[in-house]
Structure 1
Amino acid sequence: MDRQRSHGSADLLRLATAGSVDDGKSTLVGRLLYDTKSVLADQLDAVRRASVDRGLSTPDLSLLVDGLRSEREQGITIDVAYRYFATPRRSFVLADTPGHVQYTRNTVTGASTAQLAILLVDARKGVVEQTRRHAAVLALLGVPRLVLAVNKIDLVDHDETTFALIAKDFTAHVTALGYEESAVQAVPVSALLGDNVVDRSEHTPWYVGPTLLEHLETVPVREDPHDAPFRFPVQYVIRPRTAEYPDYRGYAGQVASGVVRTGDEVTVFPSGLRSRVEHIDTPDGPLAEASAGQSVTLLLADDLDIGRGDLIAGGAPPEVTDELDATLCWLSEKPLRAGARVLVKHGTRTVPAIVTELTALFDEQTLSVSDAPRSLALNEIGRVALRTAEPLPVDPYTDLPRTGAFLVIDQTDGGTVAAGLVGAPLPVMDTRRDLVSPGP
């Protein structure tokens, strides 16, 4: 099958990989790149030489992904690696995330913009603790679709029963997290040998579903930006002050959601000032409209006091508040306790804040919630209340992820210590469903 790279593909799918250590994520990503002919010749030559040096008879495709020296030396993925490839049907941006527990923060980063996530499990081990942890994080982030890649199916003699039990276990767990069964696809694969990754395997005649790539090419992911209210965080103000443009005042940034057109009425938050969009500028010339993901400069009809960190919005307004009820994924080795003073980065605005209360702790293994925890430890997910020094214009994360998400930053060293989701409910177990035994 000839799947040459095509930069004119009809649409784009953003996806992320996750799974436990040694489940074969890097090899799977390498296989996708290799079999879709998305690898440059010199890259492949370098991988072949490195594989020979290691005494291998075939190329180690994981080396196409684990590009950092520290990753190659340890034989693990430790950072999010973004890979770009395309087929005639679709273009892809893939975030390969680490499997170690201590790198869960990187999984949050890689999955935060994903429309689909591939969760790998080893066919010999089934669903394990880290699988359940990653599934909970993906549910919390609102990743709409999941693929369970049951890898190393060749090491269990391509056994149909083994695959079916793992798929049933996983599906029971994620449907309890709120996923519909139609949003979950299980595929038996061998990343090493290529079974059911791009081409269908003759070793699994009992499997009648799509190959991994077939599913990625056809899964519906497009969203209509016209359905979402307009949000535009201002990154900086452009004032050229030249003879040609003596009165130019533009507000540059990226459209976070929705669509804006010339003539639209907009409101600036948190001030509440109103105006109208007169021009939409880009380096390539003016536009009549711009939608989510486009970087533009807006010119308004009125000379307002607008600066970096303000939000230009249309449609249903955001809530302007200094009291945030949010879910946090805690990413620091130093536990979080009530009373902690932090910085909250929301959009392009960063403000001081205090954690006034820890209200709940989520156990991603049992899918249970306990009230009023004393602290949040590394990789724990919990519900908190924060009070910010200045009001922020926020939306519920489940409605508008870009303006419903924020980062928590340590005041002392500037490190990111948590990912926060405004109003996002904890992925509590649906008690109407019966969970299968969690496995090994």
Structure 2
Amino acid sequence: MSANQTIEDHGLLRFLTCGSVDDGKSTLIGRLLYDTKAILADTLNAIEKTSQKRGLGAVDLSLLTDGLQAEREQGITIDVAYRYFSTGTRKYIIADAPGHEQYTRNMVTAASTANLAIILIDARKGVLTQTRRHSKLASLVGIPHLVVAVNKMDLVDYSQEVFEQIREDYLRFAAKVGIEDVRFIPLSALNGDMIVERGESLSWYDGPTLLDILEATPGAHSEHAEAFRFPVQYVCRPQDSANPDLHDYRGFMGRVESGSIRAGDAVTVLPSGLTSTVKAVQIGGQDIAEAVTEQSVTLLLADEIDTSRGDMIVKSDEAPAAVKEIRANLCWLSETPLDRARTYLIRHTTRDAKAKLAGIDHRLDVNTLEHLPAEKLAMNDIAEVSFKLAQPIFADPYATNRASGAFIVIDESNNNTVGAGMIL
């Protein structure tokens, strides 16, 4: 490569791995890190020594995630582990969540920011109840891309027939629950076939490797055009008597949750409905040409509008509706059941609103995927519910905008987060 030639940066990709302890998830993650040269030399040396002590002929890559696994098995902590690696063209964050039914809330947490999910299937076992549950949850929280990785192909003699049967079984299930964007790949995490390198045992498969798929997957917010949403976090009014130019400075600080904004764009401030134009977009006091999704910036408006934390600045021609009642898929996170009689706090972007449960339409059985009647929700339950709000929020459907379509439910008595919702 010439000195002035640049490598295209495909941006950050967050993805989720789903599978039971026996499906080879730890080995898959270890293989990805090992084959992309993302393991530090001292870490690699340590797992090589441990593998030798156990009498293994090759490095046991599952040891890279064994620390977390041991904690889970002992019941010490059940949480989401995040692992980071990069290639020449992209950075990655892997969310590794526990897969059992009682840890549904952890998987929902991990999946909420992912743009791709790898559903791991043991080639010897095929599509199981857990496979269907993970796939449904990934679809429910809006992960746009699913990869079904049929692992342990080495234990079925790399049989194309076995792979095709699993593919057919999964597609029948996917059609029933409305999963559309799904790709299939045969692999052996143990031997490294079709992870980063193609290997020599799957010549009948002419599709991309797992890393090829990851490299080509669109990043978050790039699937379709998104409306500009800017929840105000803080109003900046500098007090500096030595600098009279700052006397009239009023900057609205926050993060661009979706869309983009430039100086000169017409905007509306919600809930007041007052309109203005953007005078400047700044980072660190310096003007920039444009702010895009996930950038934290300061907006200066041409008109003086009374604005505070919890308000939302949007482009005038794409304002969301202000609503005081919402329907949503809700994952209940708390050991204390959802109480119809209680008032909760719903936090949507930077805005809080008191809320009461208006009704439970149905609860989802995450194993059978049936819709069941429900009078209450316990920890890890997922249900379609409706809330009535004391103050309006400015929401989009979660399927359209994952940032402004999501909310959390807070117990005011202890400030604990007790639920996570996706607006329908």
TM-score, structure 1 normalization:
0.86
Unaligned runs of 5+ in 1: 1-5, 424-440
Contact in 2 for aligned 1:233/1:311 (Cα 8 Å) = yes
Q: For residues 367-406 of structure 1, what are the structure 2 equivalents within 5 Å?
A: 367-370=369-372, 372-406=373-407
The one-letter code of the counterpart of 2:100 is H
Note if 1:202 corresponds to 2:200. Answer: yes
The one-letter code of the counterpart of 2:137 is V
Hey, what does 2:3 align to over in structure 1? none
Hey, what does 1:25 align to over in structure 2? 25
Contact in 2 for aligned 1:66/1:72 (Cα 8 Å) = no
Note if 1:145 corresponds to 2:148. Answer: no
Question: Residues 248 and 331 (structure 1 numbering): CA distance in 2 closer, same or farther, change over 3 Å?
Answer: same
Note if 1:99 corresponds to 2:99. Answer: yes
Hey, what does 2:234 align to over in structure 1? 236
Q: For residues 56-205 of structure 1, what are the structure 2 equivalents within 5 Å?
A: 56-66=56-66, 68=68, 71=71, 74=74, 78-180=78-180, 183-205=181-203
SS at match of 1:197: coil
Contact in 2 for aligned 1:268/1:312 (Cα 8 Å) = yes
SS at match of 2:388: strand
User: Out of 337, 345, 348, which is 1:346 matched to?
Assistant: 348
The one-letter code of the counterpart of 1:310 is D
Unaligned runs of 5+ in 2: 1-5
Q: For residues 392-431 of structure 1, what are the structure 2 equivalents within 5 Å?
A: 392-423=393-424
Question: Residues 84 and 285 (structure 1 numbering): CA distance in 2 closer, same or farther, change over 3 Å?
Answer: farther
The 2-side partners of 1:235 and 1:68 are apart by 35
Q: For residues 229-378 of structure 1, what are the structure 2 equivalents within 5 Å?
A: 229-242=227-240, 243-244=242-243, 245-283=246-284, 285-314=286-315, 315-370=317-372, 372-378=373-379
1:6-39 CA-partner distances (Å, limit 9, x unpaired): 9863333222111223322222112111101112
Question: Residues 42 and 109 (structure 1 numbering): CA distance in 2 closer, same or farther, change over 3 Å?
Answer: same
Hey, what does 2:209 align to over in structure 1? 211
SS at match of 1:402: coil
The one-letter code of the counterpart of 2:17 is T
The 1-side partners of 2:215 and 2:251 are apart by 39
The 2-side partners of 1:89 and 1:178 are apart by 32
SS at match of 1:227: coil
Q: Aligned-pair distance for 1:240?
A: 2.2
Q: Aligned-pair distance for 1:270?
A: 2.0
1:78-98 CA-partner distances (Å, limit 9, x unpaired): 422223323234332322222
Question: Higher mean Cα deviation, 68-77 or 191-200?
Answer: 68-77
SS at match of 2:421: strand
Hey, what does 1:41 align to over in structure 2? 41
The 2-side partners of 1:41 and 1:186 are apart by 33
1:376-432 CA-partner distances (Å, limit 9, x unpaired): 233332111111222111111111110010011233333322220111xxxxxxxxx
The one-letter code of the counterpart of 1:96 is D
TM-score, structure 2 normalization:
0.89
The Cα RMSD (Å) is 2.6
Hey, what does 1:434 align to over in structure 2? none
SS at match of 1:407: strand
The 2-side partners of 1:96 and 1:177 are apart by 24
The 2-side partners of 1:82 and 1:28 are apart by 14
Question: Higher mean Cα deviation, 250-259 or 47-56?
Answer: 47-56
Question: Residues 416 and 50 (structure 1 numbering): CA distance in 2 closer, same or farther, change over 3 Å?
Answer: farther
SS at match of 2:386: strand
Contact in 2 for aligned 1:225/1:292 (Cα 8 Å) = no
The 2-side partners of 1:171 and 1:305 are apart by 53
Contact in 2 for aligned 1:95/1:110 (Cα 8 Å) = yes
The 2-side partners of 1:133 and 1:395 are apart by 26
The 1-side partners of 2:355 and 2:258 are apart by 26
The 2-side partners of 1:286 and 1:199 are apart by 45
1:271-303 CA-partner distances (Å, limit 9, x unpaired): 222222111111283112111111111111223
Question: Higher mean Cα deviation, 46-55 or 195-204?
Answer: 46-55
The 2-side partners of 1:283 and 1:369 are apart by 50
Q: Aligned-pair distance for 1:50?
A: 4.1
The 1-side partners of 2:216 and 2:258 are apart by 24
The 2-side partners of 1:218 and 1:75 are apart by 37
Question: Higher mean Cα deviation, 381-390 or 361-370?
Answer: 361-370
Contact in 1 for aligned 2:72/2:78 (Cα 8 Å) = no
Contact in 2 for aligned 1:9/1:86 (Cα 8 Å) = no
Contact in 2 for aligned 1:241/1:248 (Cα 8 Å) = no
Contact in 2 for aligned 1:85/1:93 (Cα 8 Å) = yes
Question: Residues 308 and 203 (structure 1 numbering): CA distance in 2 closer, same or farther, change over 3 Å?
Answer: same
The 1-side partners of 2:200 and 2:77 are apart by 31
Question: Higher mean Cα deviation, 222-231 or 153-162?
Answer: 222-231
SS at match of 1:47: helix
Share of identical aligned residues, percent? 51
Q: Aligned-pair distance for 1:115?
A: 1.7
Contact in 2 for aligned 1:407/1:420 (Cα 8 Å) = yes
1:138-157 CA-partner distances (Å, limit 9, x unpaired): 11112111101112222233
The 1-side partners of 2:174 and 2:335 are apart by 28
Hey, what does 1:433 align to over in structure 2? none
Contact in 1 for aligned 2:7/2:89 (Cα 8 Å) = no
